[in-house]
């Protein structure tokens, strides 16, 4: 499990992403804590780039 902590102090858990790599037979959970909408989008883009 990975945790992304953003700048929206006090927002608590605002979402999560689950990534799967069938080649490695690996699944990961990414928890988003105190993230703004912009920070959530940045994490999404980062994960998209990593899994292409």
* pLDDT given at position 50: 81
Distances (CA, A) of 3 to 23, 44: 23, 13
Instruction: Note the pTM of the prediction, 2 decimals.
Output: 0.82
- Strands (DSSP E) along 2-46, which ranges? 2-5, 13-21, 26-33
Instruction: Read off the pLDDT band of 21 (50, 70, 90).
Output: confident
């Amino acid at each position: 499990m990975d945790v992304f902590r953003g700048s929206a102090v006090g927002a608590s858990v605002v979402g999560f992403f689950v990534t799967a790599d069938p080649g490695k037979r690996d699944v990961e959970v990414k928890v988003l804590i105190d993230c703004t909408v912009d920070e959530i989008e940045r994490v999404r883009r980062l994960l998209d780039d990593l899994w292409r």
